[in-house]
Amino acid sequence: VSTPMVVPHVEGRSCLPAEIRNGLETLKKRRLERMRLSAQKDTGDNPAMAARSGGDSLRTPANCGVRLHANNVTAGLPSTSSAQNNNPFAKRKVDKFNMSNLEWIDNIPECPVYCPTKEEFEDPIAYIQKISPVASKYGICKIVAPVSASVPAGVVLMKEQPGFKFMTRVQPLRLAEWAEDDTVTFFMSGRKYTFRDYERMANKVFSKKYSSASCLPARYVEEEFWREISSGKMDFVEYACDVDGSAFSSSPRDQLGKSNWNLKNFSRLPSSVLRLLQTPIPGVTDPMLYIGMLFSMFAWHVEDHYLYSINYHHCGAFKTWYGIPGDAAPGFEKVASQYVYNKDILTGDGEDAAFDVLLGKTTMFPPNILLDHNVPVYKAVQKPGEFVITFPRSYHSGFSHGFNCGEAVNFAIGDWFPLGSLASKRYALLNRTPFLAHEELLCRSAMLLSHKLSDPETVNSEHPYTQYCVKSSFVRLMRLQRRTRSLLAKMGSQIYYKSKMYSNLSCSMCRRDCYVTHVSCGCTFDPICLHHGRKS
């Protein structure tokens, strides 16, 4: 017999949608029927065991968006293996992740921490280029801002933006087998909150667990997190991720808000490649908020198109980050494909198959499995007033120590282009729609660089390595174009030059952007890019 979900109320709002009420009624009828049949059979089994060994529970497919609000959803669920596999909250021992000994936590070194002066702080891109040769070897780094926000994030979100509310997502606090019948999703719909309502809820959960309202030592919370998702008693948390908006103040008195480190303006700084995009992209060119609670987590992932990211911690409890250097990404994907994912959930072989699953941003596993296979991992404990930079192709993950509010956005510098090209190639291989028109960005950047190099006043304004990356990436693109166009001409194709290209054309075969050239045929008008062979 399954116990129905306990659904709390938040400030007088009913949290029982019609589909859940109907499900509970159906569940009640089935339970009464099973009790009647059990009494008739009189098997003599242990009543407590019989109550936990069969029957249907109110379960929701992970991606259907039904709201789950139970504090103890798993209470009374059947204990059979198949039932556990269908329940997104049920914890079980996962043999591939040995969590009996957490001493590996002390084996993860800290990432670099930088404290720029006020003068260095004036130009964010120049400062990041300055520290990049060393910091990029760690995948992540911290930057401690020399100026603070004059207007707290809570004031910005409650007073400067009256009516600001957001939806949470439900995150199961458990490890998964990552097999066909046992995966985890973090995208079940939660509840709508104001900033203050969510803070109250999060602090109440923290206080109930630790009988305290204050921060706990980072090392202690890190150990508690891995214990909790492997064998703890908390079923889930609510996490407000990818919330449109910013907590940087618009007040001219706010020192941080009027600086170039205001993430609302970061992607459009003079040296940022993403300023050349014709259309803004939420979360990429425009920042998003991440409002978390105790143990809310962001799973292992790499930024879209291998972009840089910058995350600012506005307020609240610390966050622990784990980062992998960009050049260790192939090793990371190899470990994921061989030691994390079962073959039945991979649609192909090798690292590209693992990359495809990792793009879902739901894969969480302890970093000790990476250490065991010689993949370097570094750690950052982010506090309010600190930025975390993730470098191109750096996989990262982490969790919150309690209620907090962060903000993040992507950016790109010229040195990103070689890795951006690799990301576009992998997207095409997996037939995934790209977020960015990589060819267009590269051509526009090359044109701007050409103008700068021809002007004596701006010839030295570009970082030498950035210049090299833009030039070399553009040369490779042009060589491909010339070689392929020549081959097509020999096959009898006609080449037409247009003064204006369409910036939104994409290949009908692999979805790459076709900014420079595309092939079309009289029998089909769908564009094809030049990255396909003679047969196509």
Task: Give the pLDDT score at 53.
Answer: 27
Specify whether the CB–CB gap between 534 and 517 falls below 8 A. no
Given 386, 413, 440, which residue is the final one in a domain? 413
Whether the per-residue pLDDT at 496 is higher than 90: the answer is: no
What are 28-34's contacts with CB under 8 Å, separation 24+?
28/4, 30/55, 30/56, 31/1, 31/2, 31/55, 34/1
- State the DSSP code for 159: I
Q: Judge if 112 and 191 occupy the same domain.
A: yes
Per-residue pLDDT tens digits for 436-495: 999 999 999 999 999 888 877 666 667 788 999 999 999 999 999 999 888 888 888 888
State how beta strands 236-244 and 319-323 pair.
unpaired
Task: Give the pLDDT score at 501.
Answer: 62
What are 101-108's contacts with CB under 8 Å, separation 24+?
102/223, 102/226, 102/227, 104/366, 104/367, 104/368, 104/371, 105/219, 105/222, 105/223, 105/226, 107/368, 107/371, 108/322, 108/367, 108/371, 108/377, 108/378, 108/379
Gap between the Cα atoms of 238 and 232, Å rounded = 17
> Which of 317, 309, 315 minimizes the C-alpha distance to 287?
309
Which residue segment(s) compose the domain that 514 sits in? 419-528
Structural domains of the chain, count: 2
Specify if 459 maps to a domain: yes
SS3 239: strand
Q: Judge if 385 and 434 occupy the same domain.
A: no
Task: Give the pLDDT score at 445.
Answer: 94
Whether the per-residue pLDDT at 47 is higher than 90: the answer is: no
SS3 516: coil
Q: Judge if 294 and 359 occupy the same domain.
A: yes
Q: Judge if 522 and 387 occupy the same domain.
A: no
Q: Judge if 443 and 303 occupy the same domain.
A: no
Specify whether the CB–CB gap between 293 and 166 falls below 8 A. no
In which residue are the tokens 């998702």 written?
Answer: 229
Task: Give the pLDDT score at 91.
Answer: 87
SS3 203: helix
pTM above 0.75, yes or no: yes
Specify if 80 maps to a domain: no
Question: Residue 267 is part of a domain; what is its CATH number?
Answer: 2.60.120.650
- At residue 504 the predicted structure's pLDDT band, cuts being 50, 70 and 90, is confident
Task: Give the pLDDT score at 458.
Answer: 66
Q: What stretch of H or E contains 170?
A: strand 165-172
Whether the per-residue pLDDT at 322 is higher than 90: the answer is: yes
Given 396, 413, 430, which residue is the final one in a domain? 413
Considering 83-97, 191-205, 443-457, the range whose residues carry the highest mean pLDDT is 191-205
Task: Give the pLDDT score at 502.
Answer: 63
Q: Judge if 272 and 289 occupy the same domain.
A: yes
- At residue 398 the predicted structure's pLDDT band, cuts being 50, 70 and 90, is very high
Task: Give the pLDDT score at 141.
Answer: 98
Which tokens sit at 175? Answer: 């490890």
Q: Judge if 199 and 333 occupy the same domain.
A: yes
Average pLDDT, the chain: 84
Handedness of CA 97, 98, 101, 103 (dihedral sign): negative
Specify if 403 maps to a domain: yes
Q: What stretch of H or E contains 430?
A: none
Specify if 150 maps to a domain: yes
Q: Judge if 330 and 407 occupy the same domain.
A: yes
Specify if 391 maps to a domain: yes
Gap between the Cα atoms of 83 and 75, Å rounded = 13
Q: Judge if 389 and 242 occupy the same domain.
A: yes
Whether the per-residue pLDDT at 319 is higher than 80: the answer is: yes
Which tokens sit at 241? Answer: 């991720």
Q: Judge if 463 and 344 occupy the same domain.
A: no
Given 388, 413, 438, which residue is the final one in a domain? 413
Angstrom CA distances, 281 to 66, 118, 303, 436, stand at: 27, 30, 14, 9
Q: Judge if 366 and 476 occupy the same domain.
A: no
Gap between the Cα atoms of 13 and 100, Å rounded = 42
Whether the per-residue pLDDT at 69 is higher than 60: the answer is: no
Specify if 351 maps to a domain: yes
Specify whether the CB–CB gap between 392 and 306 falls below 8 A. yes
Gap between the Cα atoms of 149 and 385, Å rounded = 8
Q: Judge if 355 and 427 occupy the same domain.
A: no
Q: What stretch of H or E contains 353?
A: helix 350-358
Gap between the Cα atoms of 331 and 354, Å rounded = 11
Specify if 400 maps to a domain: yes
Task: Give the pLDDT score at 454.
Answer: 81
Specify whether the CB–CB gap between 389 and 136 falls below 8 A. no
Gap between the Cα atoms of 346 and 372, Å rounded = 23
Specify whether the CB–CB gap between 228 and 316 falls below 8 A. no
Query: Within the chain, how many helices (H) and strands (E) appear?
Result: 14, 15
Which tokens sit at 128? Answer: 């990041």
Per-residue pLDDT tens digits for 346-378: 988 788 999 999 999 999 999 999 999 999 999
Measured torsion, CA atoms of residues 172, 176, 178, 183, in degrees rounded to the nearest 10: -30
Specify if 449 maps to a domain: yes
